[in-house]
Amino acid sequence: MGTRRMRVEAWRRLTPRLTTMVTPKMTPIAFALLGVLVAPYARAQDAGQSGEILPAVTVAGNAGDDATTEGSGTYAARQVTIAGKVAVPIKEVPASVSVLTREQMNDQNISTIQDALRYVTGVTSVNYGDGTAYFRSRGSQIGIEFDGVSLVSGLQYQTQFDMAMYDRVEVLRGAAGALDGIGEPGGVANLVRKRPQDEFHVATETQVDSFGSVRQMVDVTGPLNKDGTVRGRAVLVGSDGLQSVDHTRDKEVLAYGAIDWDITPRTTLSLSGGYQVSPTSGLDYGAGGVLNDDQTALLGRVPSSYSQNFSPSWNYSYTSIQEFNGNLEHRFENGWKASTTLFYRHELLKSYYAYSGPGATADGLSYYGDQRQRNTYDWFGADTHVSGPIELFGQNHTLTVGANYSVMSSTAQSGFVSVDGPYDGGQFSLYDPNAVPAVDVPFTYGTNERTVQYGIYAQARIHLAKPLALVLGGREAFLQDRTQSTLPDVTGWTTNAQINHRFLPSAALVWDVVPSITAYASYARFLDAQTDTTYSGEGLPPRSGEQYEVGVKGSFLGGKLNANAALFRINDNNRAVSDPEHEYYYLAAGKARDQGFELEVTGQPMPDWNVYAGYTYLDEHYENDAPDLTDGEDPRHLFKLWTNYRFTQGLLRGFNVGGGMLAQTRISRGVEQGAYAIFNAQVGYRFNKHVEASLQLNNIFNRGYYIRPPGEFYSVFGDKRNVMLTVRSDF
């Protein structure tokens, strides 16, 4: 349903659809690497000894958000809001949940959603070449929430704000339809914005890297009146720099502001707004794979180096985003809480570029097409709910009841011209893309789209006995997707998908084995709309299925260290498959099964030592179905690690050392990307309680690899070896 895919569709009208069946080898990743990498940093010291030079940790009040991670100094989140609209201890959530805290984002110098989700357990983050990306977990795409408000079609292939405006990223993997709504069973990410603090605070961040990028951030917060009932926050970011791919230059300006007003001691109004512009010159969509003589199969890859730009230097794009968020929360004396949030976002995308394909010859010749686009997106989301305790049969239970609404309206205009073509025309060398001329490209295709989703939901945590709880959830779901052609002719609106009164249940048992360890078993159904049509012109019924999951969670050292292990299976039915008798039409006959297990450890095993480590095994099986190209981008084995140790006494007092890795087995989109591992290292020094600096070396061994391997079109390189210097101040 994303209009960004139109550049692909333009080619599909001219070439057959390419599908591949991926059968990656089981190449295990040694989880023991965790011990090898973190052992040098494990010399923790007694935190009570004198000589501490780090600033005291202060967690400011944020209107009842107990899940705030800013100022915690740890990678371990104690609570999350993604699993039930209210803050719940992670150990009590009967699902696989990961949190990327503010401390970890700072340590890793993360500024984009692509990098943030790339280091979350079980998530693959695939750049798309234009500043956007798509994200997958457990064999399917994931959805998005902003401060708990679900936005339909708001993540995949969409530009996002700089991460400087967010406190944390919460990710729930697996089916989340009971609370989040209709969508694929991969999971959902919740981006939670920074809130104003009740003490004055100024932070700055200056970054320069070896590509030539410069980024500056300023964050100011504090009370706006004498009694502190009105608090404000402002975050400004500006960046300008070259990228790993030659001649690609990104610029960015972000302004974010937020106000919290305690109308009464129990009622808080929160308002925030954001604005960002992101122009890019020399953007590159990479090259397709090498085709054989009859152009029926991909044989290999093209690049001469992993920094090669295969697009002309006149390529450009411009994106602007405006956002508004309003929340009203009231906390009752009996422990109940009512919260209502309204969310609006507008995005404008303009671009003009040339890209190569389909495929290329062995000596690097390819056809090129010039394309022009202008897209607008408007999202509106609303969520209202009440939650609180109920005492019944001698036990305390919790009930949440709410409703939410989300609408996405978009307009898209595009034009495409095959340069020196069509396909019987000339070819250009991928190694000399500036020879491709910029020709006039009028808008020849246009469409409007409107997707509406809404529903009512409820979740009850029922304590059957002191160590055993039953968690029941359900949603009555509605969705409609409609499109209208505006070019070359204006037509009436067509309904592509309609879902009414579909119930999405979830159920789980949570057993507190001992105070620090919890075991759970859960079941959840999902539903996902499909917009493909049959030969008779009818729309396909929605994909449907269920997820089964069992797991164990632990919270140790007073909540400073979290660990979890989970086994899961997702049955995915009614998947759209090509009609063998009618080309370009589909049948709802496909079945898939995604299953595997996950392991994760986060937090502080010793004072001053933070670690985040996650491993995922994924087995995908297709019955009467074939995976599409993006299905081939799910590695069977995926391991992620980041760790940091701070010296607080002795000769090395003030220094910190860190590092990490990302390793995965092979993936394919027609051209295969073999297994690879990327290693990073970091050293830092705190000069005093106000100023610290760090030097980070990424891709230490300069491994050449694809984040997005070539198909018939498009490929994206991983960053080559680079160095980043970061200086932070805190007053």
Name the residue among 292, 359, 298 with its Cα closest to residue 19: 298
Instruction: Point out which residues pair with 407 in neighbouring strands.
Output: 380, 452
DSSP string, 244-287: SSTT-EEEEEEEEEEEEEEEETTEEEEEEEEEEEEEEES-----
Question: What is the pLDDT at residue 422?
Answer: 44
Tokens read off for 390 = 């109920």
- Cβ count near 331 (within 10 Å): 18
Question: What is the pLDDT at residue 609?
Answer: 97
**Plot region of 315 (φ>0 → left; ψ -120 to 50 → alpha; else → beta):** beta
- Only one residue has tokens 């960002």, namely 276
Return the H-helix or E-strand segment holding 102.
Answer: helix 102-108
d(CA 86, CA 62): 14
Terminal Cα-to-Cα distance of the chain (whole angstroms): 46
Residues 6 or more apart from 537 whose CB is under 8 A from it? none
Extents of the domains making up the chain:
3-36+58-205+221-243+255-292+309-358+367-532+544-730
183 and 526 Cβ atoms separated by less than 8 Å: yes
- Cβ count near 706 (within 10 Å): 23
- SS3 for 635? coil
Type of residue at 646: R
DSSP string, 75-98: S--SEESTTTSS-EEGGG-SSEEE
Name the residue among 599, 591, 640, 578 with its Cα closest to residue 620: 591
Q: Is 693 exposed, middle or buried (0-12, 13-18, 19+ CB in 10 A)?
A: middle
Whole-number Cα distances in Å, 544 to 20, 229, 255:
23, 48, 41
Tokens read off for 586 = 């589909």
Instruction: Point out which residues pair with 720 in neighbouring strands.
Output: none
Task: Report, in this order, helix, strand and coil percent for the chain, each rounded to 5.
Answer: 5, 55, 40
- Cβ count near 682 (within 10 Å): 22
No. of H helices and E strands in the chain?
5, 40
CATH architecture of 3-36+58-205+221-243+255-292+309-358+367-532+544-730: Beta Barrel (2.40)
Sign of the alpha-carbon dihedral angle for 16, 537, 407, 135 = negative
**Plot region of 513 (φ>0 → left; ψ -120 to 50 → alpha; else → beta):** alpha
Strands 395-418 and 368-392 come out as antiparallel
Chain centroid offset of residue 474 CA: 25
Task: Calculate ∠ Cα 353-358-20, nearest 5°.
Answer: 125
pTM of the model: 0.89
211 and 722 Cβ atoms separated by less than 8 Å: yes
Task: Calculate ∠ Cα 40-43-46, nearest 5°.
Answer: 160
Return the H-helix or E-strand segment holding 240.
Answer: strand 230-242
In the chain, which residues have pLDDT < 70? 1-65, 420-426, 625-631
Name the residue among 313, 316, 413, 423 with its Cα closest to residue 368: 423
Q: Is 333 exposed, middle or buried (0-12, 13-18, 19+ CB in 10 A)?
A: exposed
Beta strands in 419-560 (DSSP E): 428-429, 445-465, 468-487, 494-514, 517-528, 543-556
Task: Calculate ∠ Cα 518-520-524, nearest 5°.
Answer: 150
d(CA 664, CA 131): 23
d(CA 417, CA 415): 7
- SS3 for 388? strand
**pLDDT tens readout for residues 528-561:** 999 999 988 888 999 999 999 999 999 999 999 9
Question: What is the pLDDT at residue 626?
Answer: 64
403 and 456 Cβ atoms separated by less than 8 Å: yes
CA atoms within 13 A on the CB side of 382: 8
d(CA 384, CA 405): 9
Question: What is the pLDDT at residue 55?
Answer: 40
Strands 187-193 and 143-146 come out as parallel
DSSP string, 665-691: --EESSSEEPPEEEEEEEEEEE-SSSE
Q: b or e along 619-636 (b: 16 or more beta carbons within 10 Å of the residue's beta carbon)?
A: ebebeebebebbbbbbbb
Tokens read off for 299 = 């044989």
Type of residue at 268: T
d(CA 378, CA 321): 10
